[in-house]
C-alpha cells in the first residue's frame, strides 16, 4: 500500500508492507524535506561519502522499495522508522526535531520505543485500556511479546538478520499451528495495516506464545543456525501448539482460531478460511 505523507508542504512517499507490517519512507524525500535541497539525490550522495558510517548503515539496512516516481513504479531507496530516525540524526537541520515529532504524530511510535522502551510499554498498556481490552488480555499480550522477543533474540544470535527472514520464520510458525498464513488470518479478521496480535483473542495469544516458546526451546536444543535449520525448528514448534489446539478444540467443541477482532462494529469480518 502506497501513500503520500506531507511534512511542512513537502511530500514524503511511503509504502506499507502488509506482509511484514512495516512502513517504509523514501529517503530522498526525507532529505529534501529536512534540507530544502534542490537536488536531494546529490545531497544524499555527498553525506554518504562524507559520513562513512552513515553510508555503510544505509547500504546495509535500507532496501530498495517500489514506489511511484514521476508517474511510474520504480525502486526507491527507503527506510523503516528506525532507519529514518538514524538518518535524521546525521543530517544537520533545524527541522530534525519537528520532523521526529511529525513522524510520531502520524502513528509511528517506534521512535519513542528506541528512546525509552519503558515509556513504550506504558503507552501500549494505556492504549489497550482505552480500546477496551481487559487487564487479563493486556497481561497475556505483554507476556506473549516477551516470549516473542526472546525468540527473535535467539534468531539474531543464530544468524537471522534480514527482516524478510524473520517474517518467513514467523509465518512458518503461524501457518503450522493455525492452518493459516499470517496474511490469511489478518484477512479473515478484516485487518489491513493493524497488528494481528492486537486483534487476537486470549486463546490465540496463548497458543501463539506456546508456538514461539516451543520454537525457541527446540531451536536452542538443536543449536539451529541460519534460516534453513530455524525453519525446521519453527515448524516443529508450531506443531506443538497445533497439537494442543486440536486437543482443546476436541474437548470444548470450540475453535481456537477465529475471525473475531477488536475493530469498530462498522468494519465487517470475512469468512475464516478452513484450517488445514
Q: What pLDDT was estimated at residue 11?
A: 82
pLDDT level of residue 91 (50, 70, 90 thresholds): confident
Q: Is the pLDDT of residue 1 over 50?
A: no
3-state helix, strand, coil in the chain (%, to 5): 60, 10, 30
Task: Report the chain's mean pLDDT, rounded to a whole number.
Answer: 85
Task: Kindly tell me if the per-residue pLDDT of 13 is higher than 50.
Answer: yes
Q: How confident is the model at residue 18 (pLDDT cuts 50, 70, 90)?
A: low
pLDDT of residue 4: 54
C-alpha to C-alpha distance for 111 and 148, rounded to whole angstroms: 20
In whole angstroms, give the CA distance from residue 32 to residue 226.
Answer: 39
Higher pLDDT, 275 or 22: 22
Residue with C-alpha cell 525502486?
A: 75
**Phi–psi pair at 72, nearest 5 degrees:** -130, 150
* pTM, two decimal places: 0.60
How many C-beta atoms surround the C-beta of residue 103 within 10 A? 23
Please, which pLDDT band fits residue 37 given cuts at 50, 70 and 90? confident
Per-residue pLDDT at 267: 47
| Model pLDDT, residue 207 | 98
What pLDDT, in 10s, does the model give residues 105-140? 665 554 455 455 566 677 778 878 888 899 999 999
State the Cα–Cα distance between residues 196 and 190, nearest whole angstrom.
10
Of 57-66, 157-166, 219-228, which has the strongest mean pLDDT?
219-228
235-273: pLDDT as tens digits? 999 999 999 999 999 999 999 999 999 887 654 455 565
Query: Which residue in 267, 46, 21, 268 sits closest to 164, CA to CA?
Result: 21
The gap from C-alpha 222 to its chain's centroid, in whole angstroms, comes to 27
Q: Which helix (H) or strand (E) element contains residue 163?
A: helix 163-178
Domain boundaries, the chain: 14-105, 130-252
Query: What is the percentage of the chain residues whose pLDDT exceeds 90?
Result: 50
The answer to whether 160 and 226 are in contact (CB under 8 A) is: yes
**C-alpha span between 259 and 272 (Å, rounded):** 6
Amino acid at each position: 500500500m502506497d501513500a503520500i505523507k506531507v511534512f511542512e508542504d513537502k511530500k514524503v512517499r511511503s509504502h506499507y508492507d502488509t506482509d511484514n507490517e512495516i512502513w517504509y519512507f523514501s529517503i530522498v524525500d526525507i532529505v529534501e524535506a529536512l534540507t530544502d535541497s534542490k537536488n536531494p539525490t546529490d545531497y544524499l550522495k555527498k553525506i554518504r561519502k562524507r559520513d562513512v558510517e552513515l553510508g555503510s548503515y544505509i547500504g546495509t539496512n535500507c532496501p530498495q522499495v517500489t514506489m511511484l516516481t514521476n508517474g511510474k513504479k520504480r525502486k526507491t531507496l527507503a527506510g523503516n522508522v528506525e532507519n529514518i530516525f538514524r538518518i535524521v540524526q546525521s543530517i544537520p537541520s533545524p527541522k530534525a526535531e519537528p520532523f521526529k515529532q511529525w513522524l510520531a504524530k502520524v502513528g509511528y511510535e517506534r521512535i519513542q520505543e528506541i528512546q525509552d522502551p519503558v515509556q513504550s510499554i506504558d503507552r501500549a498498556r494505556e492504549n489497550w485500556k482505552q480500546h477496551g481490552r481487559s487487564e487479563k488480555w493486556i497481561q497475556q499480550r505483554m507476556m506473549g511479546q516477551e516470549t516473542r522477543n526472546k525468540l527473535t533474540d535467539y534468531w539474531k544470535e543464530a544468524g537471522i538478520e534480514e527482516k524478510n527472514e524473520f517474517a518467513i520464520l514467523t509465518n512458518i510458525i503461524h501457518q503450522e499451528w493455525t492452518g493459516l498464513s499470517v496474511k490469511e488470518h489478518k484477512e479473515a479478521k478484516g485487518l489491513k495495516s493493524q497488528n494481528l496480535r492486537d486483534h487476537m483473542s486470549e486463546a490465540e495469544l496463548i497458543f501463539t506464545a506456546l508456538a514461539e516458546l516451543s520454537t525457541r526451546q527446540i531451536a536452542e536444543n538443536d543449536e539451529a543456525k541460519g534460516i534453513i535449520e530455524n525453519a525446521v525448528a519453527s515448524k516443529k514448534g508450531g506443531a506443538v501448539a497445533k497439537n494442543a489446539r486440536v486437543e482443546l478444540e476436541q474437548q470444548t467443541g470450540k475453535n481456537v482460531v477465529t475471525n473475531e477482532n477488536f475493530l469498530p462494529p462498522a468494519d465487517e469480518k470475512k469468512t475464516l478460511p478452513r484450517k488445514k
